[in-house]
Each structure stands twice: as structure tokens, then as C-alpha cells.
């Protein structure tokens, strides 16, 4: 293995935990992943190398400052994607969806907090993720869930589950000169600010005028350092569009080559909408978990959580307007230049599909809202009573919960993280 690859692997291990298995993903075989990676390389060049992680926190991320850039993809993230998709597609979960969303958000933030260095919050958030009934996030190992995915038919759902998160991360490696020549000019500051204004007028009318003014000022002033900053919005929107475009061409090609199911553009759009929201959920949990230290004293961090839904709305709107409806109209009407009427038909269909998931998204958001509210109030979680409450409720007596707790503590140990709360958590399983 070249020295650069060895150093990159060591850097990855340092971030995902010493007990995680890490290896450089080989590009020789003709697999669906390599077909996707080949297509990505055609657009952005040989600027990346993929490192596969067995275990570790549930993230896809890139180590900047390296050429080629190591892009980290893990079985835990893939397993999380399988589970999160069930929240959008399994009707049997709907009656408990808000509660499941709350518990899953706590678990996700707990693991992210280990990664970003707040073990006390991580332990309490983990305890809050336990429930009096076993939810489908628990009870399956990552390997089991990935194995089940591999037995699925290779179709739109399979491809989005496997590759949307990875494709989005690769989209952040698009060269600046490529952005300038293609979609970059479309997303001028004026276009992005119009998107923010539209979001405020459409879904966030109840926000106070002072907040709206501050939001617009922040978008311009903190261009890269805020989730609503114009440079950040532009980068994320380009990554969203890159992911959808890459998967559109890769999925249709792979399904055609396999000769199984016929590619269905509406099914594809459904999966893009689902995984666009999954990416948003994971990002929101990550941002909150990475800022729990001192968050009460820092109003700017609370503000960031408040504007996050607006940034997601703007990104979804731009992805639909500048890519999804054009791709749908072009495919359905077999043309490279769809006319206005065809684009209107395509947009109506996409909006209809988005509406189908509105209730589900609202239920998931309601569960996340209580999680976020709890995390923002340090006086609620910087104590040990919650761990005692979980113990008194016999939540640690469930074999599934005990196993999950042991795995969580092993992740903390792998990341070499310790705290009083983590030690208390370990004792509760003894």
C-alpha cells in the first residue's frame, strides 16, 4: 500500500475509532458501487478514494487537505439508511412514528456526540433513546441489515439506499471551474436569497420580522459559516443536484444492464425525496450533537438550529426547479429540450409525490422537535437522574437494549472517549 494510502487510513481510523475495521475500497470489479464511482469520476476527476469502515459513527465524510481526498463510507451509515427509509415507507410504523423518530434522533445524536467530543450528552441521549417497546432501529446488527439489503432487487430503492449519501458527499468535490461552467451561475446570490424569501413566505410566515431580518443578514454575512449562508447553500444545493443526477444515470444504466425491473422515473423521484429528507435529518442531528457543549450560552448556535429547516426547504426547491423537473420532463417526453408545458406537467407530478410524504415528514419532525428541545436545555441533561430513571424503568433489562448499550459503550471506548456519565451507563448494564 502506498505511503499516502497508509497515512489516509490512519487518519480515518483516528476519526472512526481504533476498533473499527477500515480498508481502501478497490475499484477493479464491476459492481454497482464501482459503476457509480466511475460515473462520479467522469464528472469530477480522480479526486477521491473511498475508504470502507466496519463500525464507527453513522457518517459519510471527506478528509479535506488530501489528494486524492479520502471519502469515508461505513456499514453503520448504510444500516442507518435502511432503517431511516422504513420511516417513510412502512405504513405499520405510522401510529408510532413521532415516538420512533424521537428515539432514533436521540440515538443518532448520542453516537454523533461521541464523535464530536461530548460524552456526557452522548450517554444521556443514549439513555433517552431507549423505549419501553423495541423499535426497529434496535435488534439488528449492521451486518444483518446490510445483508438483507443485498438480497433486495437492484432497483431505484436499492440504489438510493446504497448511494445517495455517498453521491451527495462526492458532490462537494466538484471542481470550482466545473461549477462555474454549469450550474454555478444559476445559483447566484440573488437566486438563493429569492429561495429564502420564498421559504419564509410559504412555510415560515409565523417567524417574527426581527428573526427574518436577522436570517437574511446572516445569509450574506456568514456565507460559509452558517447553514443558511449563501456559499454553504450553494455548495449543498450543487451536491444535492449532483447526487440526483449521478443516481439517475447510474440507476437507469444498471437496471437496464441487469435486465430485471424496468427503470421507473416516478419511483426514482420518490427515493430522491426520501433520501433528501434523510440527509437533512442526519445533518440536523450532527449539527446539534457537535454543538451541545456550551450551547445555552451561545445564542448563535440556537439560531442555527432554528434556520436549518429553512435551508432544507431552499435546497429542495432548487433541486426540484433546476434538476428534477427537467430530468423528469426530458425522460417522460423523450426530449433534450422540454417545453414549458412539459416542465409544468413534470413539476406538478413531483409536487404530488412530495405531498404524499408531507404527513410522514411532519410526524418525523414532531419527534425530532422534542429531541432538539431537550438537547438545547443543558439543565435537563447535565445530571445523572435520567440514567437512574432509565434504570428504574427496567429499560436496561431488555436483552436487546443491554446489547445495544454494550455496543454504544464499545463505540465510546473505540473513540477513546470517557466521562462520568459513560461510566454510569456502563455500570447499569452490569
**Burial track 65-86 (b if 16+ CB lie within 10 A, e otherwise):** eeebbbbbbbbbbbbbbbbbbe
Distance (Å, whole) CA 93 – CA 36 = 32
Whether residue 232 contacts residue 224, with contact meaning beta carbons closer than 8 Å, is answered with yes
Pairing of strands 69-74, 61-62: antiparallel
What are the contacts of 186-192 at 24+ separation with CB within 8 A?
A: 186/322, 187/233, 187/234, 187/237, 187/238, 187/318, 187/322, 189/220, 189/230, 191/318, 192/219, 192/230, 192/233, 192/234, 192/314, 192/318
Of 151, 171, 146, the C-alpha closest to 60 is 171
Residue 178 confidence (pLDDT):
47
Distance (Å, whole) CA 48 – CA 50 = 7
DSSP 325-365: HHHHHHHHTT-SS--HHHHHHHHHHHHHHHHHTHHHHHHHH
Three cell numbers written together for 169: 458527499
**Spatial CB neighbours of 384, under 8 Å, sequence gap ≥ 6:** 420, 421, 424
Q: Angle, to 10 degrees, between the axis of helix 325-332 and the axis of helix 230-258?
A: 30
> Alpha carbon 385 to chain centroid distance?
31
Whether residue 63 contacts residue 12, with contact meaning beta carbons closer than 8 Å, is answered with yes
Of 310, 346, 276, the C-alpha closest to 88 is 276
Q: Angle, to 10 degrees, between the axis of helix 119-129 and the axis of helix 265-289?
A: 130
Three cell numbers written together for 175: 471542481
> Alpha carbon 210 to chain centroid distance?
30
Give the model confidence (pLDDT) of 234-288 as tens digits: 999 999 999 999 999 999 999 998 877 899 999 999 999 999 999 999 999 998 8
Distance (Å, whole) CA 332 – CA 301 = 44
Whether residue 264 contacts residue 252, with contact meaning beta carbons closer than 8 Å, is answered with no
**Spatial CB neighbours of 430, under 8 Å, sequence gap ≥ 6:** none
**Burial track 391-401 (b if 16+ CB lie within 10 A, e otherwise):** beeebbebeeb
Residue 177 confidence (pLDDT):
43
Residue 139 class from Cβ within 10 Å (0-12 exposed, 13-18 middle, 19+ buried)? middle
Residue 203 confidence (pLDDT):
80
Residue 297 confidence (pLDDT):
45
Of 131, 133, 109, the C-alpha closest to 121 is 109
Three cell numbers written together for 314: 431552499
Residue 294 confidence (pLDDT):
52
> How many other CB atoms are there within 10 angstroms of residue 143's CB atom?
12
pLDDT (tens, 9 = 90+) of the chain, 430 residues, equals 565 677 888 888 998 999 999 999 988 888 899 999 999 999 888 889 999 999 889 999 998 877 789 999 999 999 999 999 999 999 888 888 999 999 999 999 999 999 988 888 898 889 888 865 555 555 678 888 888 998 999 999 999 999 999 999 999 998 654 444 445 557 889 999 999 999 999 887 888 888 889 999 999 998 888 999 999 999 999 999 999 999 999 999 999 988 778 999 999 999 999 999 999 999 999 988 887 665 454 677 778 888 999 999 999 999 999 999 999 999 999 999 999 999 999 999 999 999 999 999 999 999 998 888 888 777 666 665 666 666 656 666 777 778 888 889 999 999 998 888 888 888 877 7
Amino acid at each position: 500500500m502506498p505511503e499516502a494510502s497508509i497515512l489516509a487510513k490512519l487518519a480515518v481510523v483516528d476519526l472512526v475509532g481504533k476498533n473499527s475495521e477500515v480498508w481502501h475500497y478497490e475499484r477493479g470489479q464491476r459492481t454497482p458501487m464501482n459503476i457509480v464511482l466511475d460515473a462520479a469520476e467522469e464528472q469530477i476527476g480522480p479526486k477521491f478514494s473511498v475508504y470502507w469502515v466496519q463500525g464507527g459513527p453513522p457518517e459519510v465524510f471527506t478528509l479535506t487537505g488530501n489528494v486524492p481526498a479520502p471519502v469515508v463510507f461505513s456499514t453503520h451509515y448504510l444500516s442507518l439508511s435502511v432503517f431511516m427509509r422504513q420511516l417513510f415507507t412502512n405504513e405499520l410504523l405510522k401510529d408510532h412514528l413521532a415516538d420512533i423518530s424521537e428515539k432514533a434522533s436521540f440515538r443518532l445524536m448520542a453516537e454523533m456526540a461521541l464523535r464530536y467530543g461530548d460524552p456526557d450528552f452522548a450517554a444521556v441521549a443514549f439513555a433517552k433513546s431507549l423505549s419501553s417497546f423495541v423499535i426497529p432501529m434496535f435488534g439488528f446488527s449492521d451486518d444483518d441489515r446490510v445483508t438483507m439489503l443485498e438480497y433486495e432487487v437492484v432497483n431505484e430503492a436499492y440504489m438510493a439506499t446504497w448511494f445517495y449519501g455517498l453521491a451527495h458527499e462526492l458532490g462537494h468535490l466538484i471542481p470550482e471551474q466545473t461549477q462555474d461552467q454549469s450550474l454555478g451561475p444559476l445559483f447566484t446570490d440573488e437566486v438563493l436569497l429569492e429561495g429564502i424569501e420564498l421559504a419564509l413566505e410559504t412555510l415560515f410566515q409565523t417567524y417574527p420580522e426581527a428573526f427574518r431580518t436577522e436570517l437574511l443578514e446572516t445569509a450574506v454575512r456568514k456565507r460559509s459559516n452558517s447553514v443558511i449562508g449563501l456559499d454553504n447553500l450553494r455548495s449543498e444545493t450543487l451536491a444535492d443536484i449532483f447526487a440526483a443526477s449521478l443516481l439517475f444515470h447510474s440507476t437507469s444504466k444498471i437496471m437496464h444492464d441487469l435486465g430485471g425491473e424496468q427503470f421507473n422515473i416516478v419511483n426514482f423521484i420518490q427515493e430522491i425525496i426520501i433520501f433528501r429528507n434523510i440527509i437533512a435529518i442526519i445533518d440536523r442531528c450532527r449539527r446539534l450533537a457537535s454543538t451541545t457543549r456550551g450551547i445555552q450560552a451561545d445564542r448563535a448556535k440556537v439560531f442555527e438550529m432554528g434556520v436549518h429547516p429553512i435551508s432544507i426547504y431552499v435546497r429542495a426547491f432548487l433541486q426540484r426547479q433546476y434538476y428534477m423537473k427537467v430530468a423528469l420532463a426530458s425522460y417522460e417526453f423523450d426530449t433534450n429540450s422540454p417545453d414549458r408545458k412539459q416542465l409544468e406537467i413534470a413539476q406538478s407530478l413531483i409536487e404530488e409525490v412530495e405531498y404524499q410524504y408531507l404527513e410522514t415528514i411532519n410526524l418525523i419532525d414532531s419527534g425530532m422537535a422534542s429531541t432538539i428541545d431537550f438537547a438545547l436545555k443543558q439543565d435537563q441533561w447535565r445530571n445523572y437522574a435520567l440514567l437512574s430513571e432509565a434504570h428504574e424503568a427496567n429499560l436496561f433489562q431488555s436483552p436487546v437494549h443491554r446489547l445495544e448499550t454494550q455496543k454504544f459503550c464499545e463505540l465510546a471506548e473505540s473513540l477513546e472517549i470517557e466521562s462520568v456519565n459513560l461510566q454510569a451507563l456502563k455500570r447499569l448494564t452490569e
